[in-house]
Amino acid sequence: MDDPPLAPPTRHVTTTRIVAVRGSALEFRADRVVGEEPLEIRAAGPGQDPVAVAITMRTPGHEDELAAGFLRTEGLIEGPEILRFATGDPAAMSQPDDQVTVHLSRPFDASRVAERHFVATASCGICGKASLDEVTVRSAPIPDGPVVGRSVILALPALLRAAQPAFDETGGLHAAALFSPAGELLVLREDVGRHNALDKLVGSQVLARAMPLHGRILMVSGRVSFEIVQKAAVAGIPIVCAVSAPSDLAVEAADRLGVTLVGFLRGDGFNVYAHDERVDLRDLLAFD
């Protein structure tokens, strides 16, 4: 009997043929894999030709949010000046949404792009990153609160995992989600790159005019790099949680930028690497 026809491909999740080996069993079947394609992000002010800012490998979908979030978390725009988005020329590109131009109400300073030397990939974020000192300058101070209960922190991984439909199909997507201090899931975005997932998330809030995100908790899959912390800080997020480990530079950045950093959030435990004052642990403290 012939194999059933493959499902029509979509751009964020596609179907491919695989040879599956399970112990002594062999199976030829279809499998779902995550999509990965380049996105060129451009910006233009009134009367300006578009300026190429970055090219990032991303999972197709939410391109406008990704562009807005990237420009905002890299300190190139504030957000309210966004007028509209335009995709590439269909006559020149097979996939016009592989290019997004963000049109602004004010002139765009192209010299800032040249100074920063943006080269983005889904796996490593931005190479040629500006120093932590520069990030500190463009990150507004984060307020002291909120203070979040231990039970809320412990519940986040399961809530994140339950809200990842594309991960269920492919097993190959990172996620970034915003939660309220009470643990309510507010927004979630997925992408092949953890930095892109966060930029899509922040971009959704830029477009919703919800910035800064002072009353929110960020939960990310995977590890926490310097880029994750600096993007969260620029967005005003006070608490960043992750299922895996932070890097040493991520810890240093969190400490200097005023971000509570929680890592190895699994089962009934977690580590707090910076600014533990926002995590309520009084029930675990014994006083004489």
CA angle 201, 205, 209 (to 5 degrees): 170
User: For this structure, is 124 an active site residue?
Assistant: yes
Query: Helical H runs in the chain?
Result: 63-73, 110-116, 132-138, 150-162, 165-170, 194-207, 226-235, 248-257
| Nearest CA among 109, 110, 115, 108 for reference residue 130 | 115
Marked catalytic residue, from 7, 18, 20, 124:
124
| Nearest CA among 176, 261, 200 for reference residue 226 | 261
Tokens for 282?
């009084």
Amino acid at 82: I
With the CA atoms of 141, 142, 143 and 144 taken in that order, what torsion angle do they form, in degrees rounded to the nearest 10? -110
Catalytic residue annotation = 124
